[in-house]
Structure 1
Amino acid sequence: MRGLIAPLQRKNGWTLAEEAGHAGPDRIQRMLNRIEWDADEALDDVRQYVVDNLGAPDAVLVVDDTGFLKKGTRSAGVQRQYSGTAGRMENCQVGPVHAPTT
């Protein structure tokens, strides 16, 4: 969660590992590739993190799936899909943008 909301220019295995204080991306990649996930437990963990760290009585958390237009197909998650950025179906990669506001 910290990696997702970190003010990083690019978010990949290396930058997330550096943000977490790791020497390289191996631990991050192992976590993403080899651990069996329980979606409900992950949702509960993220929800609790948000409440504990970002929660305030008058706060609002806006989560917006933003499409990053892509010409090629080699990046992870790139496919023809709806892009809010383009306002139509496009070859793009969709990623979350988090903007906590109070």
Structure 2
Amino acid sequence: MDLGVRQVESWREVLAGLHARFASRFARSEPRGRALEYMAGLVAPLERKNGWSLAERAGEAHPIGMQRLLGGADWEADGVRDDVCDFVIESIGGKDAVLIGDDIGFLKKGVRSAGVQRQYSGTAGRTVNCQIGTFLAY
């Protein structure tokens, strides 16, 4: 078993514990299970992390389920947020910790990526065709 597989399995245990905390906030079993697969896909060593790649990694033939999870499934988003926040505080919280948020523009030439449009990018210093990503560091 290579290092990447061991790391994913270690993360899977942590994610399963996190998932158990908020699983009851999903009205149906399908999105409940898909939420765990979605989180596992986000920490997996995939080259691209989009609806297709996350669905394929989860053994699904089409991304519609992952898309439905994020856009239309019945779940308590505020409750999940609170549960994840509690998990982070319990796991890595510190009295001197800070949360830093920053955005960055990813220059794009095409229009096939989600969120691409002409908008101001600090990276380019002007209005260009780009995506804006927001990153949080704790």
Are 1:55 and 2:122 counterparts?
A: no
SS in 2 for 1:32: helix
Structure 1 residue identity aligned to 2:127:
M
By relative contact order (CA 8 Å, sep 6+), the higher-ranking structure is 1
Residue 37 of structure 1: how far off its partner (Å): 7.9
Query: Does 26-35 or 72-81 show the bigger shift?
Result: 26-35
Structure whose alpha-carbon radius of gyration is higher: 2
SS in 2 for 1:28: helix
Structure 2 residue identity aligned to 1:13:
G
Which structure features the higher share of strand residues?
1
- Equivalent in the alignment of 1:69: 107
Query: Does 48-57 or 90-99 show the bigger shift?
Result: 48-57
Residue 52 of structure 1: how far off its partner (Å): 4.2
Task: Tell me the TM-score normalized by structure 2.
Answer: 0.49
Sequence identity, in percent? 55
Structure 2 unmatched ranges of 5 or more: 1-38
The match for 2:71 among 15, 33, 57 is 33
Task: Tell me the TM-score normalized by structure 1.
Answer: 0.62
Superposition map of 1:85-100 within 5 A: 85-100=123-138
- Equivalent in the alignment of 1:23: 59
Residue 14 of structure 1: how far off its partner (Å): 4.0
Root-mean-square deviation (Å): 3.3
Query: CA 1:66–1:23 in 2, change beyond 3 Å: closer, same or farther?
Result: same
